[in-house]
A = this chain, B = another copy of it.
Amino acid sequence: MENKRSDCPISCSLEIFGDKWSLLIIRDIMLREKVSFSEFLASEEKIATNILVNRLNLLESEKILVKEVSPLNKSKFVYSLTQKGADLLPIVIEIMDWGAKYNKNCPRKELGKRIKSDKPAVIKELSLALKKKIK
């Protein structure tokens, strides 16, 4: 961890995930059941392999993710959220809601519509589901 810019919690948070990629990896794990390097790599936003490696290591070092050997395939790793990582859920949901509200080209799909109609319920439900999977 580098030297902090300030003690502001917003600033500290942005030093960790204030970039264009980190929260997309979190999204993939949280909302799309992705768990591995190759699955993250396959996402539509086309992250480069070196950046993906870098972000996964960073998120792991911040204890937002945990990396383990896959029980199904010993030559594969799987990433899971810690409680700290799972607690990013409300942030992700709020960003998703704002983005859908202000972007014509981001039509709300099922989850987006449920967020629009009852955000707290969605957060509660997803949070419970995550609880079963955190490390």
Contact = CB atoms under 8 A, between A and B. Distances in A.
A91 B84 contact: no
20 contacts: A5-B46, A6-B45, A8-B99, A8-B106, A9-B99, A9-B103, A9-B112, A10-B23, A10-B24, A10-B96, A12-B103, A12-B106, A13-B103, A14-B21, A18-B19, A18-B23, A19-B19, A90-B97, A91-B95, A94-B94
Nearest to A62: B102
Interface string A76-106: 0000000010011011101111111111011
Given A5-B44, A14-B95, A19-B19, 11 more contacts: A4-B105, A5-B45, A8-B24, A8-B27, A8-B44, A9-B98, A9-B103, A10-B27, A10-B95, A10-B96, A13-B95
**A interface SS class:** helix
Among A18, A44, A95, max chain B CB count under 10 A is at A95
B20 A14 contact: yes
Interface in A1-57: 4-15, 18-21, 23-24, 27, 43-46
Contacts of A106: 7-9, 12
A25 B28 CA distance: 28
Given A6-B45, A7-B105, A18-B23, A12 B99 contact: yes
